[in-house]
A = this chain, B = another copy of it.
Amino acid sequence: MKDVLVELITIGDEILIGQIVDTNSAWMATVLNQEGFRIKQITSVSDDTGHILEAVDLAFNRADVVLVTGGLGPTKDDITKQTLCTYFNTELVYDTSVLENIQALFKDRPVVLNELTLNQAYIPKSATIIQNKRGTAPVTWFDKDGKVLVSMPGVPSEMQWVMSHEVLPRLKAHFKTPALMHRTVLVHGYPESGLAMTLTDWENNLPSWIKLAYLPSPGLVKLRLTGSLDEQEALAASLEHELVSLRAILGKAILAEADIPVEAVVGQALKKRGLTLSTAESCTGGRIAHLLTSIPGSSAYFTGSVVAYDNRIKVEALGVDPASLETEGAVSQTVVEQMAAGIRQRFGTDLSLAVSGIAGPDGGSPEKPVGTVWICACSSTEILSRRYQFGQHRGRTVDMAALSAMALLLEVINHTNQS
């Protein structure tokens, strides 16, 4: 089956001066991909007639569908509507249905309808109108030589509403798309290149209908398999077959088979087993607690943390032995294990996690250079501690340490399960 190609064009000076991050495109790309459309290109252009015309024309030549967002506001710097009239050789006409939609929108709101807002009811004559139940700018749908252009508002909440409820259902009815299936695997403990080396044979033997992508972030590589076949059951079986091989190669380096953050993997593992967790953080400074509590419902398993940045706090709030700090230093196996045992006992949790390291730029020594981090995860039956070396970059070391700590914790959680 031929791919249905889609291009996204976002219009607005605020994107080109870096004032806002274009999150609309990623959202649209995700929902379009799930429905089997393929995104060919994403283009951001300024509120400039000539440039919009050029971008639309190029996109129409490459793709079957062009989705345009932005430039539909009532102020004079918004020129998308007029520009599309020029491109499709039509004119603006007054449409009472748009006015009725706007009046219904403002019914319960203390806003006076002004001339600028009412101007929204002028729409391109040759377009099909789709009412926007979340805002004043209507959606316009243009057909041309079997291809489609849809112009939508740029406000994310309005765009998402019209896309989900109106535009996507109509696109699915209009075009026949291949069914895509995605599988995501989170791999820890390999740099991207090392992982690629390890997977060379497996990757070279993937069937033609499965594509592989590596998505690296500090401490983690996300592997994404995308399959495309008309026969859905065969595709699911084929993807599962490849995952079986992948599991055999990577073993426990696979943290999860889902496109979710590692803190959600930890949360699910704890919740499933009814276990509670506390953390004691030094160099990560609360980063792990912040990640864990970013997951809704985390209070069911996460009790709290002591961020012991000062050595005195390690002694007073975690019960670390001052003599150990003196002889072995704060970044040592002895101290990180005392931190983990201390928080577990004081916060009364099943499991605990402790991190002590040198994030830099100062504080390194020949034996313990900047980037040295000790991590300990413990349960009632296991103390697992490990030394890591993350390099010179402070922010990256904190991210890598937090990720590695959660991976180490998952090992202990899995052992807890087996016992």
Contact = CB atoms under 8 A, between A and B. Distances in A.
A114 interface: yes
Nearest to A295: B394
Interface size class of chain A, counting residues whose CB lies under 8 Å from the partner chain:
35 or more
A317 B191 CA distance: 39
A213 interface: yes
A197 B115 contact: yes
A389 B109 contact: yes
Nearest to A194: B114
Given A29-B17, A41-B45, A157-B395, A293 B299 contact: no
A289 B294 contact: no
A369 B213 contact: no
A346 interface: yes
Contacts of A192: 73-75
A35 to B, nearest CB: 12
Interface stretch (A8-16, A91-99, A238-246): A8-16
Contacts of A290: 284-287, 289-290, 398
A180 to B, nearest CB: 9
Interface string A386-419: 0001111111101000000000000000000000
12 contacts: A15-B29, A18-B39, A20-B26, A21-B22, A22-B22, A74-B192, A157-B393, A286-B286, A286-B289, A304-B317, A306-B306, A306-B317
